[in-house]
Amino acid sequence: MTTIELIERRANKHLRRWLGIPPSFSSVGLYIRSGQLQLPLSSVVEEYKVAKCRVVLSLRDSNDDLISQAGMTTRSGRKWAANVAVDQAVSSLKLRDIVGNQCIHRQGLGSAQFQTWGGSQGAWTKWDLPRRKVPWRELWRLEPYHISFLLRYVYDTLPSPVHLHTWSLREDPLCKLCGKRGTLAHILSGCKTSLTQGRYRWRHDKVLLSLADTIERERVKKRPANTTARRAITFVKEGTGPSQTTKRKRTSILQAASSWEMRVDVGRRLQFPEVVQTSLLPDIVLWSSKDQKIILVELTVPWEEGCEEAHERKAAKYQQLAQDCRDRGWQAWVFPVEIGCRGFPARSAWSFLSAIGMDEHSKKQAARRMGEEAERASCWIWSKREEESWKPGADGQ
């Protein structure tokens, strides 16, 4: 095990240099398989342990009695014993089955919170967002600075004023634009000066254009007419269940009307359709005057930990507007959509893409495009964090 750990330390040193991350970056962020950001890398120590445990189980659980009862011991050194690790894992699984999900006092199901990391690098454990896996093909095509920025802002190891002050490399931990405490969350989503100068609005519009392009592609697709024909009855033989290979037909709210119009709140002030009089302006409005149906979409690009709060706030904001449309005889839907400023689409984004009838592959592609837009814009905002004047990126003119 000592030799294997030495090999991994050397590998980690070169991996950090290749990915552009500091030595203080935890190796858990490189090899984790249950985190928010998963790289296509494997720990040498973990693979060694898995291989040894696999040998133990293969010998112990063999169908050949001569092998299973031979009492063979897998050699794995004095520091770590594969047989002991397997026995402990089996005992832990048995205990978990016996105990189950334990709740005490007035705790409800799922009320217990577990956190595996401490400090700023473990903030991702509080996210309630779909995980992101980075395959090799994406890792190779990303620019070196992009890879470094991606890893360091997910695990909050960028040289923010607060971190520089903690590392004794700066006298004060304050943001140079507004004078507040300069954390990474403050720079990317909480600086009032950046908000006033339109930095966050520019990032929001970049993501909004990507979302609008996705909706426009779905809007112009030709769909079968929404008929009310009686559903065919599928008979099942006696003693058998329904076929598991039968796929349910995906429904789409866009099929509820024959023609849709769309307006997007980018570049000019959006004019709400002549359904009701309102001062509220959603980011995207789709409506069908013929069938009296309307869809309101509100995009937010918040700090990842605030996606749930932003969703509830936007849903409450447009609830009355949707009800006013319903009182006029219209069928209305409200979809608050959140894309984290570090490129992690929230569950609301996936739910909306499913609601408009996109298949799994198309949803992944659309979510990836919106996440990349948020990443690039946040990267530009970070690079200009100490410049008082603001100009959008070269690709955002």
pLDDT digits (tens, 9 = 90+) for 159-204: 999 999 998 999 999 999 999 999 999 999 999 999 999 999 999 9
Domain boundaries, the chain: 161-197, 205-223+250-391
pLDDT digits (tens, 9 = 90+) for 127-153: 667 778 888 888 888 777 888 888 888
What was the pLDDT predicted at 252?
84
**Averaged pLDDT, 209-226:** 83
What was the pLDDT predicted at 119?
54
Q: Percent of the chain at pLDDT above 70?
A: 84
pLDDT digits (tens, 9 = 90+) for 344-373: 999 999 999 999 999 999 999 999 999 999
Let me know: does 365 contact 378? Beta carbons within 8 Å.
no
Q: Residue 396: pLDDT above 50?
A: no
| Higher pLDDT, residue 214 or 232 | 214
d(CA 202, CA 350): 23
d(CA 220, CA 201): 28
Residue type, 342: R
Q: Residue 271: pLDDT above 90?
A: no
pLDDT digits (tens, 9 = 90+) for 231-243: 556 666 666 666 5
| Higher pLDDT, residue 249 or 135 | 135
**Averaged pLDDT, 32-41:** 84
What was the pLDDT predicted at 117?
42
Band of residue 315 on the pLDDT scale cut at 50, 70, 90: very high
Q: Pick the range with the lowest mean pLDDT from 92-101, 167-176, 328-337, 382-391.
A: 92-101
Alpha-helix runs per DSSP H in 262-359: 307-317, 319-327, 347-355
What was the pLDDT predicted at 247?
47
What was the pLDDT predicted at 287?
92
| Pairs from 283-288 (Cβ < 8 Å, separation ≥ 24) | 283/208, 284/208, 284/211, 284/212, 284/215, 286/215, 286/219, 286/254, 286/260, 286/261, 286/262, 287/260, 287/261, 288/257, 288/258, 288/259, 288/260, 288/261
| Higher pLDDT, residue 3 or 224 | 3
* Mean pLDDT for the chain overall: 84
